[in-house]
Amino acid sequence: GAVVSQHPSWVICKSGTSVKIECRSLDFQATTMFWYRQFPKQSLMLMATSNEGSKATYEQGVEKDKFLINHASLTLSTLTVTSAHPEDSSFYICSAGTVPRYEQYFGPGTRLTVT
């Protein structure tokens, strides 16, 4: 149980285009979903936290207009990287959690490369 999927697993896009990444909790309802990015040999950096049906809370320094997060249901959250630039190339990981159990389950990640 507690499986989280991400789609796509990797994507290459041209600079200036937008890319959408999906995060799904397959066998449980996630009240909260988290989006992280990870650069090579570094730990995960939290970008934003989203609760179903409400606006996402972004970490300091993360542009909310560039990284659009939608948590439309208890099993699906999406991250859209708008007007992507090469510096947005990174490994994006989502996790899903349930309150008050405080556990979070990570997806397998999405490798984004912007050319």
Among positions 1, 14, 43, 86, the unique one binding another protein when judged by CB under 8 A: 43
Sequence-ordered list of residues with C-beta below 8 angstroms from that of 109, at least 6 positions apart, any chain: 6, 9, 38, 91, 92, 93
Residue 4 binds another protein, judged by CB under 8 A: yes
Least separation in angstroms between residue 30's CB and another protein is 14
Tokens of 50: 């989203």
Least separation in angstroms between residue 44's CB and another protein is 5
Residue 91 binds another protein, judged by CB under 8 A: yes
What DSSP state is assigned to residue 59?
P
Q: Evaluate whether 109 touches 6 at the Cβ level (below 8 Å).
A: yes
- Chain contacts with another protein (rule: CB under 8 A): 4, 6, 34, 41-46, 49, 91, 93, 95, 97, 99, 102-109, 111
